[in-house]
Amino acid sequence: MKRFVLTALLAAMWSTALVAAPVAPKTKPIRVLILDGESAGPYHDWKLTTAVLKKDLEEAGIFHVSVATAPRFGEDFSNFKPEFGSYQVILSNLDTPDWPSDEKAQLEQFVADGGGLVVVHAADNAFPDWPAFNLMAGVGGWRNRSEKAGPMWYFKDGKLVSDDSAGRAGSHGARLPFQVVSRSPEHPIMKGLPPVWMHAADELYATLRGPGKDMTVLATAHSDPENKGTGHDEPSMVVLKYGKGRVFHTMMGHDAAALSCVGFMTTLQRGTEWAATGKVTQKVPPDFPTAETVSYRVNIAAMDPTFGKTPAGIVFDGLADAALATMRKRADELGIGGVAVVAYFEGDTIQSWSSKMSVVGKIKDMPTADKKGNNLLAIAYAKAAEMADTLKDSGTSSRPLMTGEFGWNGGVIARGKKGFLIAAFSGGKSEDDVKVSQAGVGLLKMGL
């Protein structure tokens, strides 16, 4: 159920964007081979993601994309002859424990001789015990990788550091939108992209380990402890040299939702061209995401059969925690504590709502000699209740207050696609409570 809710939630979490027309190739298309055939679990639907990755590349208009589906490890490889040498770049969407040594040697030779390699998301889980693959990918996770696989790599104080403390490799929190921060703005793949952009809901990989040799980090994403993160700025895209070959490795791209993000698509297209040729000729599309707003392509997202089929109540259940976490973060920035409430109801008048509450540091202000104290939870709900009836931010209605209402600022209401989004905070000065609530409503708007 949890997986269904999350998968379904993602379908509703993007703003809409125009679909750009493919560009006609001026020169011979770049020949790409996507490798797939296996995954460690059903949470990676590799058949669907291969189709989406193929479409992602084809939208650029400069690639000719083929697919080679490998047998599962342990099955018969005698009919698997992908002829790597006919391609300029291989894109791995394959998460397998191992391969026969002949096939491994061919892939390694292809890259060492100057072929391009692109590694997407869970493909970096593959081949834990194949040293050449780990050198090519730089870092990887899961499949029993530990400190023996190499140190963890992340950004600290603006610099790449390695951390050889012990532990398992690979972790992520719930799939939420996150900001991607450029660390190599002059690299051909990154040149012209905004310094910060909002990636669609995705797994943010952390604690990846590996040799990290000849590795340049193109971008990082902050792994938020509020979402089971490390608190570090984790690599989200890297490039490496291996022999004469070039490798582009993106840690993003869990599912069709993530793969339909215009930021993901653009960096995948540019990274694949760069791995193949060493250059990037593609322009940044006009619908590239901004620092605050996700942008995705509907035609790509709709390749997932679950796209757009999620009831709003389930979407709210998935978004509420993220909205409360955002409010907590905003309250921390403002140095205030209190109680945060988010709520959602469908239609133009309230008949029922879904709501969720989080205590941010304190539930009450204690009484003093001259003040009777405040139950901040009661106040936050009173603000939400006032808004549910007036459909105006708390404290801004022109009608007289009723019993149960305080008329205090600090609650924000907005119209969503099918109903109303409410966030209320109580604990700081009115203007700060409003800022916290605006952050909560802003996040709910991403999906509702």
> Does 254 sit near Zn ion (CB under 5 A)?
yes
Cβ(422)–Cβ(344) below 8 Å? yes
3-class secondary structure per residue, 266-278: HHHHHHHHHHHHC
Segment contacting Zn ion by CB under 5 A, of 46-54, 198-206, 228-236, 402-410:
198-206
CB nearer to Zn ion: give 203 or 273.
203
Cβ proximity to Zn ion: between 125 and 394 the closer is 125
Angle among Cα 88, 186, 203 to the nearest 5 degrees reads: 70
CA distances from 418 to 19, 346, 348, 360, 441 (A): 24, 6, 8, 29, 15
Provide, rounded to whole angstroms, the least separation between the CB of residue 252 and Zn ion: 9
- Backbone phi and psi for residue 439, each to the nearest 5 degrees, phi listed first: -65, -40
Closer CB to Zn ion, 3 or 26, in the complex: 3
Residue 59 φ/ψ, nearest 5 degrees: -60, -25
DSSP 8-state class, residue 373: -
CB-closest chain residue to Zn ion: 254
Looking at the Cβ atoms of 42 and 400, the one nearer to Zn ion is 42
CA distance 75 to 372: 74
203 binds Zn ion (CB under 5 A): yes
Which residue stretch of 10-18, 95-103, 251-259, 418-426 sits at the interface with Zn ion (rule: CB under 5 A)?
Answer: 251-259
Read off the tokens for 183.
């660390």
* Least gap, CB of 324 to Zn ion (angstroms): 24
Q: Judging by DSSP bridges, how do beta strands 354-360 and 233-242 pair with one another?
A: unpaired
Which range, of 155-163, 203-211, 294-302, 377-385, touches Zn ion by CB under 5 A?
203-211
Q: Examine residue 124 and tell whether it contacts Zn ion (CB under 5 A).
A: no
> Residue 142 or residue 345: which is nearer to Zn ion going by CB?
142
Report how far residue 318's alpha carbon sits from residue 422's, in angstroms, rounded to the nearest whole number: 15
Least separation in angstroms between residue 53's CB and Zn ion is 14
**For Zn ion, which stretch binds (CB under 5 A), given 202-210, 225-233, 305-313, 357-365?**
202-210
For Zn ion, how many residues bind (rule: CB under 5 A)?
A: 2
For residue 255, what are the CA distances in angstroms to 53, 134, 344? 10, 23, 27
Using the minimum distance from each CB to Zn ion, give the nearer residue, 303 or 350.
Answer: 303
In the complex, minimum distance from the CB of residue 302 to Zn ion, in angstroms, rounded to a whole number = 20
- Name the token pair of 91: 């894109």
Q: State the minimum distance, in angstroms, from the CB of residue 253 to Zn ion.
A: 8
CB of 49 to Zn ion, least distance (A): 9
User: In the beta sheet, which residues pair with residue 354?
Assistant: 344
Which tokens is 340 given?
């945060």
**Which is it for the CA torsion 265, 268, 271, 273, positive or negative?**
negative
Stretch that binds Zn ion, among 8-16, 152-160, 187-195, 246-254 (CB under 5 A): 246-254
Q: Where are the beta strands (DSSP E) in 334-438?
A: 338-346, 354-360, 364-365, 374-375, 411-415, 419-426
Q: Which is nearer to Zn ion, 232 or 254 (CB)?
A: 254
Minimum CB distance to Zn ion, residue 65 (Å): 22
Identity of residue 164: D
CB of 127 to Zn ion, least distance (A): 17
In this complex, which beta carbon is closest to Zn ion, that of residue 122 or of residue 444? 122
For Zn ion, the closer of residues 51 and 111 by Cβ is: 51
Q: How many CB atoms lie within 10 A of CB 352?
A: 8
Q: Which part of the chain contacts Zn ion (CB under 5 A), choosing from 16-24, 123-131, 200-208, 263-271? A: 200-208
Q: Which residues bind Zn ion (CB under 5 A)?
A: 203, 254
